[in-house]
Structure 1
Amino acid sequence: MRRFLPSLSALHAFDASVRHLSFTKAAEDMGITQSGISRQIKNLEDFLGLTLFERAGPKLILTEEGARYYDEISRLLDKLEDVSIDAVRGRKAQSMLKIGFPPTLMRRWGAAMLTAFATAHPQTWFEVYPCRHDLDFAASELDLAFVRGTGNWSGARSQLLFDEELIVVGAPKLVPLQGLPSDEALLEYPLIQNSSRPSLWLHWLRGAGVHYKSRIYGPRLPNFDMILECAIGGMGLAVVPELHVRTELAAGILKPALNRLQTSGEGFYLCFPQARMNSANVRIFRDWFATEFTRRRQFLPPAFPLDQK
């Protein structure tokens, strides 16, 4: 008997329409006309005997039946896409090593390390996923991850790679040739703050023994990438992990405001979920990284030439 299945074109149109809640935008996404999308949705509704969308002027509203149908169909479309990609790649996505990296750490440190691994093990395919530093390993499908913290993640084994060291930087037009004369001089400048790590300036000032009586003045930005761009433009001084700012310091587009580094109390760790410690790809990466990191220390950041206090 013939399967009771709608056309794949109709399901594509339905998926795009739900994601955009607009036939016009769905049409742009799929590269067809708006009338083509409307016709596909009408055909799907007639096939199912359901009303999938209600129209309220220019607005498109997913009905309760449409929402239930999409909840199931979206998972099946995802699975169909995975199977098709696996066929093109010649292997299942599940066989790939899944590596987690916070985006800034990946750009500033991870790319060179992963390039070396890919060169050493060209037959071990891996895929990199963005992740947060407070990763929940119990709920994650990652095989390993590089994250910042204090070494305590539930359900994972962690290996300290190096401590996080903070440095205060600014554009050359803000920072005097010899740097600021004292820690207290920081408070005379706008201090760019990281809204995702709001305690960094407090940590720095308290560690330096600076006594401040008023609120810390300066704009708030959501991540280090934005903070560095604005610091380069002269918005103010920024306290950032020294690891993230080496390229800018070497190029001279940022300068150390003070001749010192200060640890944050956290470090960068390589973490392995305990449930995946014995998988073949994890063992390959773990053994390779242990050899490279321990024997040659090639991925340990070199000390920055500042006085550490």
Structure 2
Amino acid sequence: MRRFLPSLSALHAFDASVRHLNFTRAAEDIGITQSGISRQIRNLEGFLGLSLFERSGPRLILTESGATYYEEVSRLLGKLEEASIDAVRGRKTQGILKIGLPPTLMRRWGAAVLTAFSSTHPQAWFEVYPCRHDLEFATSELDFALVRGTGNWSGARSHLLFAEELVVVGSPELLPAEGLPNDEALLGCPLIQNSARPSLWLHWLRGAGVSYNSRIYGPRLPTTDMIIECAIRGMGLAVVPEIHVREEIAEGRLRPAFRRRQPSGESFYLCYPESRIGSAGVRAFRDWFLAEFQRQRQFLPPAPGLHQR
């Protein structure tokens, strides 16, 4: 018997329409016209005998039937995509290590880690995915993640790499070569805020024993990379993990406000789900990475001449 299946083009249009809830943006996403998207959705609704969307002017609202259908369609399209990728690669996606790196770590020293691993394990295949530091390992598909925290992730094994230390930096236009004369001088400078980690300046000031009686003023930026770039351009002073600005300090693009670092209370860890402990690929990467990291720390740029408080 002929299978009761809609066309793949219709499912592709449906998937894009649900993700954007807008036919125009869905059409731009998959490279067809807006009328083409509308026609595919009408054909799919006619084939199923269901209303998948309600129209409210330019807005699309997914119906209850549409939401239920999409949950299964999205999963099956993902499996179909995975099977297609497997066919192109000539191996199963499940045999590829999935490694998670937060964006700043990915850009600043992820390349050194992964290049070293691929040169010593040329037969090992891996993919890298951006991830958050508060990753939920119990539900994640990642095999590994290099993340910051206190070492307690539910459903994961964690291996301590190094403690996070904070440093205050600014551009040479804002800071003299010898740094600020005292801790209190900070409060007279524009202080760039990290909206993802809003307590960093309070942590620094309390650790330094600086008294402050009013709000800490300064622009709020969403990522560490953006904060570092804006500090280089002279927007203000920034308190950032020292590991992320070693190269900028060495090259003279940033200067430390003080010749010391303060621990943040968090550390960087190599983590992997407990459910993956039996995987030979996971064990190989774990053992190689921990041995190399402890032996040379070759993945990290040289530390500048700062002192821990």
Q: How far, CA to CA, are the matches of 2:151 and 2:19 in structure 1?
A: 39
- 1:169 match: 169
TM-score normalised by structure 1 residue count: 0.93
- 2:122 match: 122
Contact 2:246 2:301 in 1 (8 A): no
List, as ranges, runs of 4+ consecutive aligned residues in structure 1 with deviation greater than 4 Å: none
Equivalent residues, number? 309
Deviates more, 1:110-119 or 1:29-38: 29-38
Cα gap change, 1:302/1:142 in structure 2, threshold over 3 Å: closer, same or farther?
same
Shift of 1:17: 2.1
Q: How far, CA to CA, are the matches of 2:28 and 2:79 in structure 1?
A: 24
Partner SS for 1:116: helix
Shift of 1:78: 1.3
The one-letter amino acid paired with 2:201 is: W
CA RMSD of aligned residues (A): 1.8
Q: How far, CA to CA, are the matches of 2:60 and 2:166 in structure 1?
A: 50
Deviates more, 1:264-273 or 1:25-34: 25-34
Shift of 1:66: 2.2
Cα gap change, 1:89/1:234 in structure 2, threshold over 3 Å: closer, same or farther?
same
Q: How far, CA to CA, are the matches of 1:126 and 1:45 in structure 2?
A: 40
- 1:135 match: 135
List gaps (5 residues or longer) in structure 2: none
For 1:91-170, list aligned pairs within 5 A: 91-170=91-170
- 1:2 match: 2
- 1:81 match: 81
Contact 1:109 1:243 in 2 (8 A): no
- 2:200 match: 200
1:98-118, Cα deviation, whole Å (9 max, x unpaired):
112111112112221111101
List gaps (5 residues or longer) in structure 1: none
Deviates more, 1:151-160 or 1:5-14: 151-160
Q: How far, CA to CA, are the matches of 1:296 and 1:248 in structure 2?
A: 22
Deviates more, 1:293-302 or 1:142-151: 293-302
Cα gap change, 1:66/1:225 in structure 2, threshold over 3 Å: closer, same or farther?
same
Cα gap change, 1:3/1:159 in structure 2, threshold over 3 Å: closer, same or farther?
same
- 2:44 match: 44
TM-score normalised by structure 2 residue count: 0.93
Shift of 1:163: 1.3
Q: How far, CA to CA, are the matches of 1:151 and 1:202 in structure 2?
A: 23
Cα gap change, 1:67/1:256 in structure 2, threshold over 3 Å: closer, same or farther?
same
For 1:188-267, list aligned pairs within 5 A: 188-267=188-267
Contact 1:293 1:300 in 2 (8 A): no
Partner SS for 2:260: coil
The one-letter amino acid paired with 2:238 is: A
Cα gap change, 1:134/1:24 in structure 2, threshold over 3 Å: closer, same or farther?
closer
Cα gap change, 1:30/1:274 in structure 2, threshold over 3 Å: closer, same or farther?
closer
Partner SS for 2:245: helix
The one-letter amino acid paired with 1:252 is: G
Q: How far, CA to CA, are the matches of 1:34 and 1:203 in structure 2?
A: 52
Q: How far, CA to CA, are the matches of 1:301 and 1:151 in structure 2?
A: 24
Q: How far, CA to CA, are the matches of 1:294 and 1:219 in structure 2?
A: 38
Contact 1:161 1:300 in 2 (8 A): no
Cα gap change, 1:258/1:66 in structure 2, threshold over 3 Å: closer, same or farther?
same
